[in-house]
Structure 1
Amino acid sequence: MGSTTINLPTIHLDTTLTDLYNLADPSTAHLRLGLVLCGVNSAIALTPSFPRNKKYLYQDSPFNNIPPAELKAVAADAASSSSNPSRSQKTSDLQRSLALKYLSLIPQRDAFIAGGGPSTPTIFFNVSPGSASQEAHDRHEAETTIAVLAPEQRPKLVFCSGPSSIPVKELGIDRLAVKIMLDDLERQGYPLVVDQETQWFLNSKAGLAGSGLPTPRAEVVVVEGYVPVSDPEKCCEVCRDEDLGKGGGMRFVPAGCKGVRGRWVGEQMKRIVEKVEARQAPFVFKTQQTFGGAGTWVVSSEEKKRELVKELTDDETGVLRKLLSQVTARNQQMKPGSVVLSEMVRDPVGDYGVTFLVGKGGEATFLAASEQMINEDNAWIGSTINYARQERLKEKFEGIMRQTAEWVGKHGYIGPVGIDILETKDIPKDGEQLQQNGTSSVDGEKTAHYVVDLNVRTSGSLALPLLKGHFTSRGMTCASSFSTTAKGSRKEFMETWREEFETGRMLIMAWYEDNTSNGEKEVKSIGDVVVGGKDEKDLQDLMKRVRESTEEVTF
């Protein structure tokens, strides 16, 4: 393989997440900011110290796709893991897969752009808390990732066992900025930049549908009330026999429930399904909070509608029964079980991710407009950016960006925001498709813009504008970021692409080597990489070569 040393260039970011928060509210720039940038799961605990979310529900792939019986087995197995080290391989693999992505890959990716030096603690949660060797490995992986940054732009990495053990007072943290709402942050009463219920609402699909922003026309089917009896023991014999909530996993109201819980779930399911069946295809069906593209169904035909109804109502795997069973007295005011049916944007000519900063007064600072990469399952897998087109795209999306910033700003949010926009050449008449007019005219071309998703948090493409100087100073006008799964170690991956790494054409924003999933016989890694190209063809050629030697990661 040649020399064992790979000479990596030092990465200098144009600006950092800490700088952006200080710009958003200069009056608080003297306060010490801590960043919590992980993901979360509402189906199962990620680790014994990182419980599932029960109040702030998120529908990701495990939540939607894993049958209740399997979730029951995982929860029970996980609960007994402390006393029974011979946990099932299936349980171990599922939890570890989620923990690697949500507790290491995602926070590393955002920590890479966190900045702030030692004065900005970036909080990580251990993938395997309690194991000294694994905790050391967690730290090593994150520290190796940020080591390529200029020293003054490396954040302080702080590792904890779980959200309830963040050393806020010990670190002198004045406020925490949070990517995804965590139940335990609220329980601990930590000081936050933005109230969690507010930020959850701003990220909800019903929130967007009622925002007045230029979105496809939508109907929100609101769930009335919540599961009337929280304790299965007090409902009926079926519930007592089939209580799936033991061990910290999701609690379900079983299909055979004869009590008030079953009647309530049945009534709410009936209302939702009737709305779906009455709606003519094509349309889009969404649950309230989605993560990584999960929770969104594109219903392109009547056949697809029938498939959706089955997926929603199936006694064994139905999404609605799982979702409605989680609506409780604690979270019902946020309407987490409500769903959205929206018109489908026809014949889009562009799919953009626009990232910007929202200041304290609701003002917007443009950061970038990237183009989205979505796979056949509607899951986000990466973004590309053309630096030469940014001024034109800024002008194109300036109006819709300002509208969005004003809306989230009036709710008290400050920080980064990402909006997914579909662009069409057909301009709708008033009252058709768009809830509010969202058009632009740039270089004489008039188009309509539809906000189809709103991410009031750090987005996956946020790093691309902050790396502009790194790439353009090397003659590269385009860049792309994407997640990947590779056989072998970080070092082996970098050896394969030595020239690209040493010239600054490729860099790693997140990486985790996992040597436990296959009995330590084979190392498998997940990572998030950024690649650059002198033009779009050059970029696509490199991306194609990387993808041919790896596999994609979905969330």
Structure 2
Amino acid sequence: MGSIVPDIKLPTIHLDTTLAELYRLASPRNANRRLGLVFCGVNSALDLSPNFPRNTKYLYQDSPFNTIPRQHLTPSNITLQKSLATKYLSLIPQRDAFIAGRAPVILFNVDTSPETIEHDRREAEATISVLDPSQRPELVFCPGPGSIPIKEYGIDKIAYKIVLDGLKKYPLTHDLETHWYLNSKAALALSGLPTPRAEIVEAVGFGGEKGECCEICVMPGGKEGEGGGELVVIPGGCTGNRGVWIREQMERVVGAIRKREVPFVVKNQQTFGGAGTWVVTTEEEKAELLRGMESEEGALRKLLSQVTAANHHLKPGSIIISDLVKDPIGDYGLTFVVTEEGEAIFLAASEQMIDESNAWIGSTINYEHQEGLYEKFKPLMERTAKWVAQHGYYGPVGIDILETETPGQTDSHTGEQTAYHIVDLNVRTSGSLSLPLLKGHFASRGLSCASSFSVTVKGTRRDFIEKRKKEFESGKMIILSWYEDPEVKDSIADVVVGGEGEKELQRQMGRVRDATEEVTF
């Protein structure tokens, strides 16, 4: 990175451990196999590039899927496609590549132009260049999931963050269907782990092929089935079997929500990027949610329209309605690694950060609190690890936990009395996974707290670093991922900031956020 900011001397970053080392610990029998890592995101609304089609079997609902009108979810919407591609194919995988260690990391090009292909490489190489050479990953670029060069790079197996339809032909560390299920909201509700009481409203069957339906459905426009193409939604005016089916399934969901007393939480079966969750605390919010669910352009109709013969057994159209945790006194993000034997390797527990106005401003890790938090959550962590391993998974896991003042304050789905409620389970790398691996880096500088977050920057990487020269040279601030739009010189980035204590960290974060914007996935 010295070539980008030659007059600033950035410290070499040495991680406490890496994902490659943790995978070897998690599976000793695979320790000598060359593991390739795929960290990109995906959605089911829009192809990310000509070589990266949307998921049609393993459905994910991110913010664009849920909120953008169907007519805008087309390949002609170049602005949206570019925005999603830069976040999902560069920003997210760079962030995990930073902590990957000595392993091949597969990255997919944002588009097919030679200029962009070279730009993708320069951005990723600049990000990892601050790492100790012994911990830098081997970056492997290719056009899309259908063309991963595993033989050329001697890759024995692939470990992945998110299930991609195109990975099915490769040797994998774990089964695609199993991994998709483990990350589903229904799986958590049925796991036997302590999670708020929930009702699962399942879609029955699927709508059938549009070519065998009514006149409206067989009109030209859009493709269905595997292989991407435009998002096809069963039209409200459909008079065939598909129309009958989707109206019945929508009424099942809408009827269940109507009967539910506030407060409650509604979730899609499978989400990405923090989307697909509706917290309903008032009758007005309930009415607004129902209007959206019943809408022609609503998330529910779009989701149910993607249920097909190929995926209906996965129950991707299920909606989960759960209790809202009552008056939580603690909000934690627990990250650990699950071994093949079902043991848990604790990494960290993050805590929410509150400002002087008692407003939530983000999550932070206080390294001095980790021993106490480990003891606090050890039984729940070990219990979760055993359940995950029973399904054949090993690797990183994150769970979000809300704590109540007394056990049983919120009903558990299992009926047990508990003060610790798992509200989300992510069987994959989390966005804050870098923080525990940077403990030594920050602690050696007297920095007891750290936080990572995403920002939009008006300017280049060089501009950003030069404005914060002192923080970067001292090691207080690190870029985990960066992607600059070469045309307008705007950038999106993930950064991590360290502080001597929570107040100092809050001040450092405020300075960054005052000069940037939050990234919305």
TM-score range, shorter chain: over 0.9
Counterpart of 1:80?
none
Cα distance between partner residues in 1 of 2:203 and 2:396? 30
Contact 2:159 2:173 (C-alpha < 8 Å) held by counterparts: yes
Q: Per the alignment, in what secondary structure is the counterpart of residue 224 of structure 1?
A: coil
Specify the code of the residue in structure 1 equivalent to 2:87: K
Query: Post-superposition shift, 1:383?
Result: 3.3
Contact 1:382 1:483 (C-alpha < 8 Å) held by counterparts: no
Contact 2:267 2:276 (C-alpha < 8 Å) held by counterparts: yes
Counterpart of 1:360?
340
Cα distance between partner residues in 1 of 2:414 and 2:321? 13
Cα distance between partner residues in 1 of 2:331 and 2:110? 34
CA deviation string 1:254-278 (max 9, x = no partner): 0100000010001100111110000
Cα distance between partner residues in 1 of 2:405 and 2:270? 30
Counterpart of 1:271?
252
Counterpart of 1:114?
100
Match of 2:392 among 407, 412, 418: 412
Contact 2:411 2:417 (C-alpha < 8 Å) held by counterparts: no
Counterpart of 2:234?
253
Specify the code of the residue in structure 1 equivalent to 2:119: H
Q: 1:180-329 alignment to 2 at 5 Å?
A: 180-186=162-168, 189-228=169-208, 230=209, 232-241=210-219, 243-245=221-223, 248-315=229-296, 317-329=297-309
Counterpart of 1:154?
136
Query: Post-superposition shift, 1:240?
Result: 2.3
**Which segment drifts farther, 233-242 or 359-368?**
233-242
CA deviation string 1:468-488 (max 9, x = no partner): 000000000000000010011
CA deviation string 1:444-463 (max 9, x = no partner): xxxx1100000000001111
Cα distance between partner residues in 1 of 2:129 and 2:72? 40
Counterpart of 1:463?
434
Query: Post-superposition shift, 1:92?
Result: 1.5
Cα distance between partner residues in 2 of 1:381 and 1:548? 12
Q: Per the alignment, in what secondary structure is the counterpart of residue 59 of structure 2?
A: coil
Contact 1:13 1:470 (C-alpha < 8 Å) held by counterparts: yes
Match of 1:65 among 64, 67, 72: 67
Counterpart of 1:338?
318
Counterpart of 1:512?
483
Counterpart of 2:51?
49
**Which segment drifts farther, 242-251 or 206-215?**
242-251
Counterpart of 2:7?
5
Name the TM-score, length of structure 2 as normaliser.
0.95
Query: Post-superposition shift, 1:171?
Result: 1.1
Q: Per the alignment, in what secondary structure is the counterpart of residue 240 of structure 1?
A: coil
CA deviation string 1:387-425 (max 9, x = no partner): 000000001111110111011100000000000001110
Q: Per the alignment, in what secondary structure is the counterpart of residue 170 of structure 1?
A: coil
Specify the code of the residue in structure 1 equivalent to 2:158: L
Q: 1:107-186 alignment to 2 at 5 Å?
A: 107-116=93-102, 120-129=103-112, 131-186=113-168
Specify the code of the residue in structure 2 equivalent to 1:329: A
Q: Per the alignment, in what secondary structure is the counterpart of residue 16 of structure 2?
A: coil
Counterpart of 1:101?
87
Cα distance between partner residues in 2 of 1:308 and 1:417? 31
Counterpart of 1:445?
none
Specify the code of the residue in structure 1 equivalent to 2:345: T
Specify the code of the residue in structure 2 equivalent to 1:122: V
Q: Per the alignment, in what secondary structure is the counterpart of residue 270 of structure 1?
A: helix
**Which segment drifts farther, 211-220 or 300-309?**
300-309
Cα distance between partner residues in 1 of 2:273 and 2:367? 25
Q: Per the alignment, in what secondary structure is the counterpart of residue 239 of structure 1?
A: coil
Contact 1:382 1:461 (C-alpha < 8 Å) held by counterparts: no
Cα distance between partner residues in 1 of 2:412 and 2:34? 45
CA deviation string 1:34-73 (max 9, x = no partner): 00000001001000000000001001000001111222xx
Contact 2:198 2:413 (C-alpha < 8 Å) held by counterparts: no
Cα distance between partner residues in 2 of 1:41 and 1:292? 10
Q: Per the alignment, in what secondary structure is the counterpart of residue 406 of structure 2?
A: coil
- The answer to whether structure 1 residue 432 and structure 2 residue 398 are counterparts is no
Cα distance between partner residues in 1 of 2:362 and 2:157? 30
Query: Post-superposition shift, 1:371?
Result: 2.3
- The answer to whether structure 1 residue 24 and structure 2 residue 26 are counterparts is yes
Query: Post-superposition shift, 1:249?
Result: 1.1
- The answer to whether structure 1 residue 527 and structure 2 residue 493 are counterparts is yes
Specify the code of the residue in structure 1 equivalent to 2:122: H
Query: Post-superposition shift, 1:350?
Result: 1.2
Counterpart of 1:451?
422
- The answer to whether structure 1 residue 391 and structure 2 residue 371 are counterparts is yes
Cα distance between partner residues in 1 of 2:162 and 2:498? 29
Contact 2:189 2:413 (C-alpha < 8 Å) held by counterparts: no
Specify the code of the residue in structure 1 equivalent to 2:378: E
Summarize the Cα distance change of 1:156–1:438 in structure 2 as closer, same or farther, 3 Å threshold: farther
Q: Per the alignment, in what secondary structure is the counterpart of residue 195 of structure 2?
A: coil
Cα distance between partner residues in 2 of 1:27 and 1:320? 43
Contact 1:417 1:457 (C-alpha < 8 Å) held by counterparts: yes
Summarize the Cα distance change of 1:554–1:523 in structure 2 as closer, same or farther, 3 Å threshold: same
CA deviation string 1:340-379 (max 9, x = no partner): 00000011111111000100011111100012579xxxxx
Contact 2:407 2:417 (C-alpha < 8 Å) held by counterparts: no
Query: Post-superposition shift, 1:508?
Result: 0.3
Q: Per the alignment, in what secondary structure is the counterpart of residue 90 of structure 2?
A: helix
Cα distance between partner residues in 1 of 2:383 and 2:38? 27
Counterpart of 1:82?
none
Q: Per the alignment, in what secondary structure is the counterpart of residue 171 of structure 1?
A: coil
CA deviation string 1:515-551 (max 9, x = no partner): 2xxxx3x310000000000000000000001100000
Q: Per the alignment, in what secondary structure is the counterpart of residue 217 of structure 2?
A: helix
Match of 1:500 among 453, 461, 471: 471
Cα distance between partner residues in 1 of 2:36 and 2:61? 26
Q: Per the alignment, in what secondary structure is the counterpart of residue 493 of structure 2?
A: strand
Contact 2:450 2:499 (C-alpha < 8 Å) held by counterparts: yes
Summarize the Cα distance change of 1:47–1:333 in structure 2 as closer, same or farther, 3 Å threshold: same
Specify the code of the residue in structure 1 equivalent to 2:437: L
Unaligned runs of 5+ in 1: 78-90, 375-379, 440-447
Counterpart of 2:357?
none
Contact 1:438 1:450 (C-alpha < 8 Å) held by counterparts: no
Query: Post-superposition shift, 1:290?
Result: 1.1
Specify the code of the residue in structure 2 equivalent to 1:199: H
Cα distance between partner residues in 2 of 1:381 and 1:157? 34
- Count of residues paired in the alignment: 509
Query: Post-superposition shift, 1:93?
Result: 1.1
Cα distance between partner residues in 2 of 1:470 and 1:106? 22
Percent identity between matched residues is 61
Cα distance between partner residues in 2 of 1:543 and 1:345? 29
Specify the code of the residue in structure 1 equivalent to 2:69: P
Query: Post-superposition shift, 1:433?
Result: 3.9
Query: Post-superposition shift, 1:382?
Result: 5.6
Cα distance between partner residues in 2 of 1:225 and 1:312? 19
Name the TM-score, length of structure 1 as normaliser.
0.90
Specify the code of the residue in structure 2 equivalent to 1:541: R
Query: Post-superposition shift, 1:97?
Result: 0.4
